[in-house]
Structure 1
Amino acid sequence: METFMERREFLVRTATAVSATLLLESFRSDRYHFVGSVLAAGNGDGQKATLEQRFADFALAIRYEVLPAEVITSVKRVLLDTLGCAFGSVGSEPANIAETTIRKTFGDGNTATVIGYPRPATIEGALFVNGVLVRSLDMNDTYIGTEPLHPSEVIPAALALCEEQGRSGRDLIEAMVVGYEASMRVNDAISFIERGFHPLCAASYGIPLIAGKVWGLPKRALANAVGISGARGFTSFAVNSGAISMMKAMGLAATAADGVFATRLAAQGFTGPSGTLEWLASKMKPPKEEFAVDLELARYRLPRVAFKRFPVQIELQAVAEAGVLLAARIKGRAQDIRAITVETYPGIIERVADPPKFRPQTKGTADHSLPVCLAMALVDGDVTVSQFEHDRWRDLDVMALVDKTSVKPGESLIAKLPRGRGASVEIVLADGQSARETVEVPEGDALRPLARASLERKFMNFAVPVVGKAAGERVMSLVDGIEDLSNVQELTQELKGMGKQDPS
């Protein structure tokens, strides 16, 4: 039989829960109704704020009005570059499979644009396909913290959410900054690769902050969303190991869809854990003492993002550039090359010059292969998307140079730029002549930024076959003035297409 004390305890708990629910139900965000949460997300009574709560405070504090001009300019550059990369992948096999599959998985919604395709989709469906599009070419931007991260893969989530909500261009800027900065700061704080996971795991903390920011959720819901998403966001580094499959293109896209779902749950009162990053730092080898994430607003990372000139892994940009320079010097004599020696950094060698990279079996492995990318640069004088699309990397003349390539640590590079991504390439010809090119900082690096003209050319080369020249130019203009858009839909309506077309 129920005792008096048990009955009293039940009534107290029920009254407390009802009061909290009624209080929270009185709050209504701009577009998303927040029901309530039982997470002790408040840090009253002297309770120290959890990292999830600090992330929520960080997201809520980012406002367009206080962003430095340098950060806003960087947002426009990464947005244009990212849209270009997405256009470049329209019609590819991974994108077509994803575009077909989302209808069966997320339904036939019509709230968000699928870049380059005529039919809209649900938020999760659109951000998934657009995420695959952004990543497929391996030409999207890169941030180097503890390891390479592609923060531009959070843009599809920000774009789809803002489009569905009819948000302004300034809202989109805020959402992008939140997603970029949170993901990059996690990347600065801990190495996922060392623990067997993919760096994209960092975005599991940025995505829910984007969604919560766009939906106008309060701190408590944001903290819950980060907890749920962070606990689920562990992707194995097997994605980028050995023979690289199509999954490379969908890793963060899947994390983004899951992060939005986590935020939907949190908005309805679903609670999440705290301490997910601290758990990773302390429980997974190598343990990291004094773990902390820098959430100081003034120290923005966005201006330090690097862009790619070539459609290859970020650590191969210098190798490809050196190969192009050498090709110009030997003027079509690649068949006379007797030996190739590459000097670069040990970590880079481990990732892009391991044994499987000398005999790649997939496109995803080829564009992460130092010897293959260098060989194509030497033979063809460039490294392009077309080479990978048409399996140029399989050809006998390319593989002949791969067999002549050796790679070793570059002591002088390491001494001068300990954390660099440069490379030095020496070739020896059959007549005994030799030539060397050293690229300490590749074009597109934050220390050697991609020129505006180069960025525009890269974008238009990818956009014109999908939407035509006029629409491509309109997109560039809209991105340049993104802060003046009253509704992001003015931009997204220009991103639709009918698949790859002839340039016009």
Structure 2
Amino acid sequence: MNAPVEIDLPNTTREVAEFGAGLSFKDLPADLLTNAKQCIRDSLGCGVYGAPQPWTLSVARVVDFLGQSPKASAWGMKIKADPLGAALINGTAAQGFELDDCHDQSMSHYGAGVVPAVLASAEGFGTFSGQDIILATVAGYEIGTRIGNTVSPSAFHRGFHPCGLTSTFASAAAIAKMLSLDADQYVSALGLAGSQAAGLMAAQFGAMAKRFHSGKAAQNGIIAALCAREGLTGVRNVLEAPYGGFCSTYSETYDLNWATDGLGSEWEMRKNGFKQYSSLASSQTSVDALRGIRKRDGIKGEDVAKVRIGATNMVYVHCGWPYVPNGETITAQMNLPFTAAVTLLEGNAFVDQYVDSKLYDPTIIDLANRIEVYVDPELDAGGPHEMRAVRVEVTMKNGDVHTWEQTYRSGHWANPIPEDELAAKFRDLASRVITDEAVKGIEDVIANLENEPEPAPKLGKLLQQVR
């Protein structure tokens, strides 16, 4: 009988877990404290705005029906739930209108997976300081983004939704930090997260399910960390396992080095960005370009004859398909021709451009049908940070042609949104649902978060002061 072949595998999962378990607040660079507070505030604004949407209300009714212990707050609502239920509701809400932060290379949105899990746990599992919340948030983002990088964009091209996959790891990493798991328990938390990672990209073509993926990721990460604490073991080599591991199962090609290179010294969280528009991130370079042309050249959308958008293959696959209205808001938000058309006609692609009345608007649809998205080989040959670069050509009915190249969307780490604009975004979104006093109170708590002894209950009360 032949002896089994030994394969020399890296200890990627163990290395990541040891980093997470050993991370302390004093290890965090000052800019990451600021970044973490921005991520928390932005996620709260997105979640509060997403609370009254029909998909969030569907999830809230399920949680309410289950009737578990009401310990944690549903943002923008007057109900409480157990921490798992609150994380599911708030994660769905935070990803509920395509407004949440985005890590471009891993193609995932960690705010909707991490912040709801952290704040629900902080309300429901004991007393946690502002420093505890910041530390858990950084651990979740740092580990989630790195794991996301290992399989991006291959997992996306296989049809998996990164928010459901890597945000599950991010949530588990954050809650494992909050629960002070040791390295062995942390390994199991990651292994249990990998066994729950899920999400299908077909949801982008007209299903509320896409919103739900981040809510499930937030919830599943809590389950993973709690079970690991109680001795349930997960796949101990979940990242590097050559058969049945996370990377080998979900991705045609992957690079484990993304998870560990520079770990603890080069912070991947710094490459997390924010969204200026209410559409998928892959369309936002085009929105920037079209807004730039409108402002620079003074054109009007009704005078446009046709538009050609050269893009990478990823952008083409993600959002370059023809727009066919089906009554689902997600279809318009995930579609580049619709988003480009409404931007040209109205000058923006924020929440007011995706109301129900516009989904079948004949003027928007007519222009969307004259917008061609194609793969530009030169752009497609760019690096991972340039995967959303576009070249836009707008031809007017009088024959004039206007062009614009945009490599990084506004909000990308290489093209950041200024702090005052991020704060204004939070106020705009949150004030549509909760009182102005509550909005100001939330801003004050987060501004001083590292000095707050127990901020989660305070935030919970403010987030429920619905207009």
Would you say same fold, with TM above 0.5?
yes
CA–CA distance in structure 2, aligned partners of residues 465 and 87 of structure 1? 9
CA–CA distance in structure 2, aligned partners of residues 390 and 114 of structure 1? 25
CA–CA distance in structure 2, aligned partners of residues 260 and 419 of structure 1? 31
Q: Map Cα deviations across residues 140-178 of structure 1 (whole Å, 9 max, x no partner).
A: 111122x41101121100111122222000000111011
Q: Map Cα deviations across residues 70-113 of structure 1 (whole Å, 9 max, x no partner).
A: 111111111111111112112111111111211223x3422111
What's the counterpart of residue 110 of structure 2? 151
SS of residue in 2 equivalent to 1:343: strand
Decide which of 450, 460, 465 is 1:492's aligned counterpart: 460
What's the counterpart of residue 209 of structure 1? 173
CA–CA distance in structure 2, aligned partners of residues 285 and 139 of structure 1? 27
CA–CA distance in structure 1, aligned partners of residues 393 and 158 of structure 2? 35
Q: Map Cα deviations across residues 400-426 of structure 1 (whole Å, 9 max, x no partner).
A: 111211122345655777742232322
Letter in 2 for 1:63: S
CA–CA distance in structure 1, aligned partners of residues 247 and 438 of structure 2? 47
Measured after TM superposition, the shift of residue 390 of structure 1 is: 2.9
SS of residue in 2 equivalent to 1:454: helix
CA–CA distance in structure 2, aligned partners of residues 403 and 348 of structure 1? 18
1:348 aligns with 2:309: no
Q: TM-score, normalised by structure 1?
A: 0.83
1:272 aligns with 2:234: yes
> Is the 1:58–1:297 Cα contact (8 Å) retained in structure 2?
yes
CA–CA distance in structure 2, aligned partners of residues 430 and 292 of structure 1? 48
Letter in 2 for 1:277: L
SS of residue in 2 equivalent to 1:277: coil
Classify 1:390/1:234 alpha carbon distance in 2 versus 1 (closer, same or farther; 3 Å): closer
> Is the 2:15–2:260 Cα contact (8 Å) retained in structure 1?
no
Decide which of 113, 131, 135 is 1:174's aligned counterpart: 135
CA–CA distance in structure 1, aligned partners of residues 235 and 383 of structure 2? 40
What's the counterpart of residue 377 of structure 1? 343
Q: What is the correspondence of 1:328-367 to structure 2 with a 5 Å cutoff? A: 328=295, 333-355=300-322, 357=323, 362-367=328-333
1:219 aligns with 2:183: yes
Measured after TM superposition, the shift of residue 487 of structure 1 is: 0.4
Q: Which has the larger radius of gyration?
A: 1
CA–CA distance in structure 1, aligned partners of residues 251 and 422 of structure 2? 40
Decide which of 391, 399, 405 is 1:438's aligned counterpart: 405
Count of residue pairs the alignment pairs up: 448
What's the counterpart of residue 59 of structure 1? 20
What's the counterpart of residue 125 of structure 1? 85
Measured after TM superposition, the shift of residue 199 of structure 1 is: 1.2
Q: What is the correspondence of 1:95-494 to structure 2 with a 5 Å cutoff? A: 95-105=56-66, 107-145=67-105, 147-153=106-112, 154-164=114-124, 165-191=126-152, 192-200=155-163, 201-240=165-204, 243-278=205-240, 279-282=245-248, 286=252, 288=254, 293-294=259-260, 296-328=263-295, 333-355=300-322, 357=323, 362-410=328-376, 413=379, 419-420=385-386, 421-488=388-455, 489-494=457-462
Q: Map Cα deviations across residues 106-140 of structure 1 (whole Å, 9 max, x no partner).
A: x3422111111122211001111110110011011
> Is the 2:108–2:167 Cα contact (8 Å) retained in structure 1?
no
Classify 1:217/1:61 alpha carbon distance in 2 versus 1 (closer, same or farther; 3 Å): closer
> Is the 1:360–1:369 Cα contact (8 Å) retained in structure 2?
no
CA–CA distance in structure 1, aligned partners of residues 251 and 432 of structure 2? 47
Classify 1:335/1:194 alpha carbon distance in 2 versus 1 (closer, same or farther; 3 Å): closer
SS of residue in 1 equivalent to 2:186: helix
Letter in 2 for 1:189: T
CA–CA distance in structure 1, aligned partners of residues 84 and 336 of structure 2? 35
Q: Map Cα deviations across residues 268-307 of structure 1 (whole Å, 9 max, x no partner).
A: 2222222232224445662557767216211211121111
Measured after TM superposition, the shift of residue 233 of structure 1 is: 1.5
Identical-pair percentage: 22
CA–CA distance in structure 2, aligned partners of residues 51 and 334 of structure 1? 51
1:82 aligns with 2:43: yes
CA–CA distance in structure 2, aligned partners of residues 233 and 284 of structure 1? 10
Measured after TM superposition, the shift of residue 59 of structure 1 is: 1.4
> Is the 2:110–2:170 Cα contact (8 Å) retained in structure 1?
no
> Is the 1:376–1:393 Cα contact (8 Å) retained in structure 2?
no
CA–CA distance in structure 2, aligned partners of residues 48 and 333 of structure 1? 58
Is there any run of 5+ residues in structure 1 with no aligned partner, and where?
1-46
CA–CA distance in structure 2, aligned partners of residues 61 and 442 of structure 1? 35
Measured after TM superposition, the shift of residue 311 of structure 1 is: 0.3
CA–CA distance in structure 2, aligned partners of residues 285 and 186 of structure 1? 12
Measured after TM superposition, the shift of residue 388 of structure 1 is: 1.1
> Is the 1:358–1:369 Cα contact (8 Å) retained in structure 2?
no
CA–CA distance in structure 1, aligned partners of residues 34 and 282 of structure 2? 25
SS of residue in 2 equivalent to 1:148: coil
CA–CA distance in structure 2, aligned partners of residues 57 and 416 of structure 1? 34
Measured after TM superposition, the shift of residue 466 of structure 1 is: 2.2
CA–CA distance in structure 1, aligned partners of residues 426 and 445 of structure 2? 14
CA–CA distance in structure 2, aligned partners of residues 393 and 378 of structure 1? 16
Letter in 1 for 2:335: S
Measured after TM superposition, the shift of residue 428 of structure 1 is: 1.7
Q: Map Cα deviations across residues 244-278 of structure 1 (whole Å, 9 max, x no partner).
A: 31111111211222232233322222222222322
> Is the 2:189–2:225 Cα contact (8 Å) retained in structure 1?
yes
CA–CA distance in structure 1, aligned partners of residues 40 and 459 of structure 2? 11
CA–CA distance in structure 2, aligned partners of residues 77 and 290 of structure 1? 29
Classify 1:401/1:110 alpha carbon distance in 2 versus 1 (closer, same or farther; 3 Å): same
SS of residue in 1 equivalent to 2:462: coil
Q: Map Cα deviations across residues 327-380 of structure 1 (whole Å, 9 max, x no partner).
A: 34665742232221112222211211124x455652111111111001001111
